[in-house]
Structure 1
Amino acid sequence: MSDIVLELNNLACGYAGHKVVQELSIHLRAGDIGCLLGPSGCGKTTTLRSIAGFEPVSAGEIRLDGQVLSSPTHNVPPEQRRIGMVFQDYALFPHLTVAQNIAFGINKHPERQRIVGELLELVKLGKLGQRYPHELSGGQQQRVALARALAPEPRLLLLDEPFSNLDGELRRRLSGEVRDILKARGTSAMLVTHDQSEAFAVCDQVGVLREGRLQQWDTPYNLYHEPATPFVASFIGQGYFIRGQLLTPDTVQTELGVIRGNRAYQLPTGSAVDVLLRPDDIVGQEGSSLTATITGKLFLGASTLYRLQLATGSVLEAIFPSHDDHSLGEVLGIRVSADHLVIFSAQGSVNVSAQLPLEQVLASGVSV
């Protein structure tokens, strides 16, 4: 059997004659948890419903374990796809007990009771099998929905915004538990969410969608540190772009000084570029000639996020340990400490202050 469990090849799909998703190609390895991430209306749920068999495919194909499930001329019915689904609203049967809900899809299985018992323990509801859904909390209901979807041992599990009805702390805890459960069973899954922290906490691979087109399919680490497009760079995490000029393949002149990157960039020398700086790229340095004024402050517990304004008017963000406390209006000495320098070609003229002649910059060897 192939290591690839799910393949979407040049997929186009939509509803009511409206094409929502176009030219979407991704693959998911067996045992991995994938995610479709993006703003509302970008095609995440439409893609998930097409994988489940609820929406038609107008171009391309969907394969599970190498078998074509959907194409413009072929469609395997949803009940024959070996795919489970966990819905946003749980969709539990109110007149059935927890155990009966879990057993719903395996009522004819000779080992039904054993499977239900194992799943109740797996989702930490071992003593609640005889309760009804209305007697459970939202997190417990979600666990029941997950156990019910896992009972038939699907080849792929689909999760459509499964934690959106839960409050913040419960959402964070349950998303981690769901990942542990899926990994313990070796179940391949595809999650849909607009919450990037949730996607990063649960998933091995994440696809960022914009207006129905895939921007990047990659690991959470690479999406944050190696975004493929300006949209991914701005959508994932926090940060600001500043304008610069490429001096050498790995060196950029900016209003923060000369910044040296960690690779050679494939742009002509002298190109106008936009440089992405994350909050963790900006660090404090007492006595630095480069200063910024604190114009915003967000206390996060273990850390504090500061909004900084440079003398030029440009805005940055920096995250400091919470015990390193500063006040609004305070002027800080800062420097750039970026292990991964993300650069994109910019349109328009270069707009950097205190720009040095190219020969002088190269001779000085100065870096920030």
Structure 2
Amino acid sequence: MSEIVLELNELACGYDDTPIVHELSLHLRAGDIGCLLGPSGCGKTTTLRSIAGFEAVTAGEIRLRGELLSSPTTRVPPDRRRIGMVFQDYALFPHLTVSENIAFGISRHPQRRRIVSELLELVNLDRLGNRYPHELSGGQQQRVALARALAPEPALLLMDEPFSNLDGDLRRRLSAEVRDILKARGISAMLVTHDQSEAFAMCDQVGVLREGRLQQWDTPYNLYHEPATPFVASFIGQGYFLRGQLLTPDTVQTELGVIRGNRAYQLPTGSAVDVLLRPDDIVGEDGSALTATITGKVFLGATTLYRLQLPTGSTVETLFPSHDDHPLGEVLGIRVAADHLVIFAAQGSVNVSATLPLEQMLAQGDSA
């Protein structure tokens, strides 16, 4: 099993005596890329700044490879933490060339020329070492910032919304490139973002934060298929909750019929439950007795997302291949294909959307 690089144990921190993060515990293994994901104001950047040493800790502790960095009585200065940082605005020195920016943190290293040359090649900027930041594109500037952070060979790399200033296509391509670079060099990293697709594409472990509290620290797959709380279920991916009744530990009665999952739920038999249904849980089936009317659609390229109204008035969503085109108002035969059933004790109203309304999805773009 890989060595643990970063440990947060019951961490609490904030700004100006205002608590932001509460009882946060997680660990990151060597070579893994982790992420703190959540809505604005949830505490993800505060946590990252505390790891970097820019903010004090009011409770708990931060350890890097077993060494205590922060606690209420201990605070190792940022420049002694062996931690690299990539900022949202790149923070490059405008009066220094690309090579000089990369060499800034290793100016006294006897092998600095070799290190800079290797890093320029690593980030595909080997012909641009003599240029200045203003002569580079946004993506190139971000590569320089990454190379500068890697130059001192940090034990951990922190990235605070590193791609948010880039357009959607470039952001996706650059995030994939950065992941490949980090994996090739075995570098452990922690990313902060509000973009789910970015977090899922880049990271091995993702922590979902809500109001300063960690809801779940898990793989992207488990966050989507096995959310630990209703908030995680709602925040991750698309979907709707339908009210149902638990018939047996693994079977629930809903207006879509009886649905059986792949595990037992520790809830009393007969209790009211909320069942999460993702778009990939609903599939088309010609001739099915279960039907729904198309009330909305969004073309997504390879697929089309349809909003369906059930005869009872409740709503679900489904994804079809884009060449399988259907008009608004058409009645479709459907069935449920959800062996990874996600169930919670009933809360609030029935059929609550777990995502933004369909009509907002295009405006939302790649943000989550």
**Bucket of the pairwise TM-score, normalised by the shorter protein:** over 0.9
Contact 1:244-1:350 at 8 Å conserved across structures: no
Alpha-carbon shift at residue 311 of structure 1 (Å) = 1.1
Residue type at the aligned position of 1:107: S
Quick one: distance in 2 between partners of 1:301 and 1:238?
A: 17
Quick one: distance in 1 between partners of 2:326 and 2:348?
A: 36
Alpha-carbon shift at residue 349 of structure 1 (Å) = 9.6
Alpha-carbon shift at residue 111 of structure 1 (Å) = 0.5
1:159-197: per-residue Cα shift (whole Å, max 9, x none)? 000000000000000000000000111110000000010
Alpha-carbon shift at residue 151 of structure 1 (Å) = 0.2
Helix, strand or coil at the partner of 1:295: strand
Residue type at the aligned position of 2:303: S
Instruction: Give the match for residue 224 of structure 1.
Output: 224
1:282-313: per-residue Cα shift (whole Å, max 9, x none)? 00001111111111111011100001111111
Instruction: Give the match for residue 76 of structure 1.
Output: 76
Whether 1:192 and 2:169 are equivalent positions in the alignment is no
Contact 2:242-2:350 at 8 Å conserved across structures: no
Residue type at the aligned position of 1:10: E
1:314-338: per-residue Cα shift (whole Å, max 9, x none)? 1111001111110011110100001
Instruction: Give the match for residue 363 of structure 2.
Output: none
Residue type at the aligned position of 1:112: R
Superposition TM-score, scaled by structure 1 size: 0.94
Helix, strand or coil at the partner of 2:320: strand
Instruction: Give the match for residue 123 of structure 1.
Output: 123
Instruction: Give the match for residue 58 of structure 1.
Output: 58
Quick one: distance in 2 between partners of 1:200 and 1:106?
A: 33
Instruction: Give the match for residue 144 of structure 1.
Output: 144
**Unmatched segments (≥5 aa) in structure 2:** 352-368
Instruction: Give the match for residue 277 of structure 1.
Output: 277
CA RMSD for the aligned pairs? 1.3
Quick one: distance in 2 between partners of 1:347 and 1:48?
A: 33
Residue type at the aligned position of 2:123: V
Quick one: distance in 2 between partners of 1:183 and 1:124?
A: 16
Instruction: Give the match for residue 86 of structure 2.
Output: 86
Residue type at the aligned position of 1:234: S
Instruction: Give the match for residue 180 of structure 1.
Output: 180
Instruction: Give the match for residue 343 of structure 2.
Output: 343
Alpha-carbon shift at residue 223 of structure 1 (Å) = 0.3
Instruction: Give the match for residue 209 of structure 2.
Output: 209
Helix, strand or coil at the partner of 1:139: helix
Quick one: distance in 1 between partners of 2:313 and 2:178?
A: 45
Residue type at the aligned position of 2:309: Q
1:16-65: per-residue Cα shift (whole Å, max 9, x none)? 11000000000000110000000000000000000000000000000001
Helix, strand or coil at the partner of 2:270: coil
1:123-146: per-residue Cα shift (whole Å, max 9, x none)? 010100000000000000000000
Q: In 2 relative to 1, CA 45–325 (structure 1 residues): closer, same or farther, beyond 3 Å?
A: same
1:70-124: per-residue Cα shift (whole Å, max 9, x none)? 0000100000000000000000000000000000000111110110000000001
Quick one: distance in 2 between partners of 1:214 and 1:267?
A: 24
Equivalent residue pairs, number: 351
Instruction: Give the match for residue 364 of structure 1.
Output: none
Superposition TM-score, scaled by structure 2 size: 0.94
Helix, strand or coil at the partner of 2:169: helix
Helix, strand or coil at the partner of 1:264: coil
Instruction: Give the match for residue 43 of structure 1.
Output: 43
Residue type at the aligned position of 2:138: G
Residue type at the aligned position of 1:43: G
Contact 1:36-1:206 at 8 Å conserved across structures: yes
Contact 2:260-2:339 at 8 Å conserved across structures: no
**Unmatched segments (≥5 aa) in structure 1:** 352-368
Instruction: Give the match for residue 234 of structure 2.
Output: 234
Contact 1:36-1:191 at 8 Å conserved across structures: yes
Residue type at the aligned position of 1:158: L
Helix, strand or coil at the partner of 2:319: strand
Alpha-carbon shift at residue 350 of structure 1 (Å) = 8.9
Contact 2:241-2:350 at 8 Å conserved across structures: no
Quick one: distance in 1 between partners of 2:328 and 2:136?
A: 46
Instruction: Give the match for residue 107 of structure 1.
Output: 107
Quick one: distance in 1 between partners of 2:178 and 2:80?
A: 25
Quick one: distance in 1 between partners of 2:28 and 2:349?
A: 42
Contact 1:272-1:348 at 8 Å conserved across structures: no
Alpha-carbon shift at residue 154 of structure 1 (Å) = 0.2
Residue type at the aligned position of 1:193: T
Residue type at the aligned position of 1:149: A
Residue type at the aligned position of 1:280: D
Alpha-carbon shift at residue 348 of structure 1 (Å) = 7.0
Structure whose alpha-carbon radius of gyration is higher: 1
1:190-231: per-residue Cα shift (whole Å, max 9, x none)? 000000100000000000000000000000000000000000
Quick one: distance in 2 between partners of 1:178 and 1:162?
A: 10
Contact 2:10-2:22 at 8 Å conserved across structures: yes
Contact 2:53-2:76 at 8 Å conserved across structures: yes
Alpha-carbon shift at residue 347 of structure 1 (Å) = 3.8
Quick one: distance in 1 between partners of 2:48 and 2:348?
A: 39
Alpha-carbon shift at residue 339 of structure 1 (Å) = 2.8
Instruction: Give the match for residue 98 of structure 1.
Output: 98
Residue type at the aligned position of 1:251: T
Q: In 2 relative to 1, CA 52–266 (structure 1 residues): closer, same or farther, beyond 3 Å?
A: same
Instruction: Give the match for residue 162 of structure 2.
Output: 162
Runs of 4 or more consecutive aligned structure 1 residues displaced over 6 Å after TM superposition: 348-351
Quick one: distance in 2 between partners of 1:347 and 1:64?
A: 40
